[in-house]
């Protein structure tokens, strides 16, 4: 059954077109992911479906046929609030409960995972997957999209398109589409070169008809050439036609956008720390805040020069407090004298509001202009380079603050949930940046697809203590040693037991060899 039907919808902001929708519908039990770059109009479209009121700046043409009972959960922007995850979970639970006993239910969710930790995300995935309620979900969380969606609405060239399939299938489709576009462009380029070559041949041939032959007067040459005049006219006509085709095809030839991985050239070298020395060493100690203990560091933690770490754990467990204490050098330990720490969270307010975005960024960037501009492009800020920082929107300001920290004069970056309000393209670009960044980094994230992309060291806060990969290895080794001793004892007992089976003895021996 159709819950929502759109035959045509056009959304304009002031005099500019924002978004066009043609022939889209939402059916019972369908789970749709709505994706697109930030600022492309996704939230505006959802608000129209949720029958929200709009200021006069917006012009909406067309109509939405609504045949459903809906619940709308907007994006909770206050990411710095410690209860953000719980507030989000409560809002989602209430929305599902509201529609549970209503016919034709539709959930409209705008970035529902942005404040949820991994455990809460798994709760939401289970809730939506088991529910019979249809959903339209704006999300940049690729793991979440892949887990719950059976269709994708994607914004491309200011139009919303439908793809019937999972998010993973959509990604394969997009890659194929990109390859086809690149192949088509290359073919058109070759064809254009052939046309140019043919035009030059015709042009040069046409010129020979207008030249006097050596040893002939003009009147004699014209009298001898009368029979060739028809051929000359045909060559000239063909030459003009080719010129017209070349101009037309040049006008239609558009190179498809191609993303190039960032290279980060010419970083300032005086920020470098000797690879033999540590950037940071944190001693065993409790981490306290607000008059209570959050977790313990039970083993010395070292952060080597140039190493990157992702820190995970449930909301409220102390990740942000940990980063802030490192930033303020409040933890007992060693801080390299050359250490310069850059800290990002969602609530940083820009101080240089009188400057343009480009002036502010270039004044502090440690990378060359092309690398700095690519960071801007990856965060969709390039077109706002001449805008004053005070004129940026909230989302643009978050991205500017991130760009300012990423390119700033630091050799240790502390990034607290940097992906929260980035779109999918920017999240993937950030993962590339982290990989090639030349200095140390600790980042907090709940984005599972992003974490998987990074392939860096993982720290985890669990059971009131910080677990590092080193600690995990030590714990595993300790556990293995205990098991090995028990197995050796068991093997001795089996060898003395006349009723013991040969297969059991072999199994114990094999496990001992494995542990050794």
Q: Given a cut of 60, is residue 226 above it in pLDDT?
A: no
- Between CA 11 and CA 8 the distance in angstroms is 10
User: Of 21-25, 362-366, 498-502, which gets the smallest average pLDDT?
Assistant: 498-502
The reported pLDDT for the residue numbered 209 is: 60
Residues 273-292 have a mean pLDDT of 87
The reported pLDDT for the residue numbered 79 is: 44
Domain boundaries, the chain: 2-165, 188-252, 269-289+300-460, 472-515
Residues 490-514 have a mean pLDDT of 75
Query: How confident is the model over 207-218, as pLDDT tens digits?
Result: 666 555 555 555
Name 343's bridge partners. 414
Strand order across the 301-304 sheet: 301-304, 278-282, 333-335
**Which contiguous run of DSSP H or E holds residue 62?**
strand 58-66
Q: Given a cut of 50, is residue 171 above it in pLDDT?
A: yes
Q: How many CB atoms lie within 10 A of CB 428?
A: 19
User: Of 78-82, 138-142, 399-403, 432-436, which gets the smallest average pLDDT?
Assistant: 78-82
Q: Given a cut of 70, is residue 75 above it in pLDDT?
A: yes
**R_g (Cα) of the chain, nearest Å:** 32
Within this chain, domains 2-165 and 269-289+300-460 share the same CATH topology:
yes
Residues 481-496 have a mean pLDDT of 73
Q: Higher model confidence: residue 221 or residue 208?
A: 208
Q: Higher model confidence: residue 5 or residue 187?
A: 5
Q: Higher model confidence: residue 496 or residue 407?
A: 407
Q: Given a cut of 60, is residue 289 above it in pLDDT?
A: yes
Q: Given a cut of 80, is residue 221 above it in pLDDT?
A: no
Q: By the 8 A CB rule, do 128 and 31 touch?
A: yes
Instruction: Return the percentage of the chain with pLDDT > 70, whole number.
Output: 87
Residues ≥6 apart with Cβ < 8 Å to 22: 6, 7, 8, 9, 159
**Which contiguous run of DSSP H or E holds residue 298?**
none
Q: Give the CA distances from residue 152 to residues 107, 137, 166, in Å, rounded to whole numbers and listed in that order.
A: 15, 9, 7
Residues 484-493 have a mean pLDDT of 75
**Which residue blocks in 159-310 are alpha helix, DSSP H?**
167-208, 218-225, 229-252
The domain over range 2-165 is classified in CATH as 3.40.50.300: yes
- Between CA 297 and CA 184 the distance in angstroms is 57
Instruction: Return the percentage of the chain with pLDDT > 90, whole number.
Output: 53
CATH of 269-289+300-460, picked from 3.40.50.300, 3.30.200.20, 1.10.760.10, 1.10.10.10, is 3.40.50.300
- Between CA 367 and CA 265 the distance in angstroms is 6
Q: Given a cut of 90, is residue 10 above it in pLDDT?
A: yes
Q: Higher model confidence: residue 169 or residue 271?
A: 169
Residues 148-161 have a mean pLDDT of 95
The reported pLDDT for the residue numbered 473 is: 47
Please provide the average confidence, as pLDDT, over all residues in the chain: 85
Burial of 301-334, coded b for 16+ CB within 10 Å and e otherwise, reads bebbbebbbbbbbebebbbbbbbebbeeeebebe
Residues ≥6 apart with Cβ < 8 Å to 28: 1, 3, 104, 134
Sign for the pseudo-dihedral over CA of 170, 171, 172, 177: positive
The reported pLDDT for the residue numbered 348 is: 63
Query: How confident is the model over 436-483, as pLDDT tens digits?
Result: 998 999 999 999 999 999 989 999 999 999 998 654 444 444 555 667
The reported pLDDT for the residue numbered 227 is: 52
């Amino acid at each position: 059954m159709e819950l929502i039907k759109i035959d045509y919808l056009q959304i304009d902001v002031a005099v500019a077109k924002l978004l066009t929708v043609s022939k889209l519908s939402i059916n019972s039990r369908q789970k749709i992911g709505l994706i697109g770059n930030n600022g492309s109009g996704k939230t505006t479209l959802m608000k129209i479906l949720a029958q929200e009121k709009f200021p006069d700046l917006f012009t909406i043409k067309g109509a939405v046929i609504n045949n459903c009972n809906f619940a709308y959960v907007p994006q909770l922007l206050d990411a710095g609030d410690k209860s953000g995850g719980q507030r989000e979970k409560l809002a989602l639970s209430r929305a599902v409960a509201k529609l549970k006993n209503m016919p034709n239910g539709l959930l409209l969710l705008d970035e529902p995972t942005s404040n949820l930790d991994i455990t809460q995300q798994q709760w939401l995935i289970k809730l939506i997957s088991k529910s019979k309620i249809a959903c339209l979900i704006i999300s940049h969380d690729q793991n979440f999209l892949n887990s719950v969606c059976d269709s994708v609405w994607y914004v491309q060239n200011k139009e919303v398109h439908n793809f019937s399939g999972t998010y993973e299938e959509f990604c394969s489709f997009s890659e194929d589409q990109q390859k086809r576009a690149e192949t088509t462009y290359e073919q058109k380029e070759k064809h254009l070169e052939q046309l140019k070559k043919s035009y030059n041949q015709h042009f040069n041939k046409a010129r020979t008809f207008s030249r006097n032959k050596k040893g002939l007067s003009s009147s004699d040459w014209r009298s001898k050439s009368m029979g060739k005049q028809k051929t000359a006219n045909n060559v000239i006509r063909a030459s003009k036609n080719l010129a017209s085709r070349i101009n037309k095809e040049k006008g239609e030839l558009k190179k498809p956008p191609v993303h190039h991985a960032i290279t980060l050239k010419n970083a300032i070298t005086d920020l470098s720390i000797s690879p033999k020395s540590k950037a940071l060493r944190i001693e065993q100690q409790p981490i306290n805040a607000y008059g209570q203990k959050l977790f313990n560091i039970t083993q010395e933690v070292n952060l080597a020069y140039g190493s990157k770490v992702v820190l995970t754990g449930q909301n409220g467990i102390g990740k942000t407090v940990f980063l802030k204490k490192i930033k303020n050098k409040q933890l007992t330990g060693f801080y390299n004298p050359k250490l310069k720490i850059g800290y990002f969270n969602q609530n940083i307010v820009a101080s240089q509001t009188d400057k343009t975005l480009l002036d502010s960024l270039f004044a502090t960037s440690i990378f060359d202009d092309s690398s700095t501009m690519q960071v801007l492009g990856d965060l969709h800020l390039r077109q706002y380079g001449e805008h004053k920082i005070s004129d940026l929107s909230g989302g643009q300001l978050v991205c500017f603050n991130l760009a300012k920290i990423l390119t700033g004069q630091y050799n240790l970056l502390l990034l607290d949930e940097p992906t929260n309000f980035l779109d999918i393209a920017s999240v993937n670009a950030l993962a590339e940046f982290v990989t090639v960044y030349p200095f140390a980094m600790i980042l907090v994230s709940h984005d599972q697809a992003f974490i998987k992309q990074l392939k860096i060291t993982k720290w985890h806060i669990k059971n009131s203590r910080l677990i590092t990969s080193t600690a995990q290895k030590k714990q595993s080794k300790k556990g293995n040693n205990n098991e090995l001793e028990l197995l050796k004892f068991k093997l001795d007992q089996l060898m003395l037991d006349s009723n013991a089976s040969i297969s059991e003895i072999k199994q114990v021996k094999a496990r001992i060899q494995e542990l050794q």
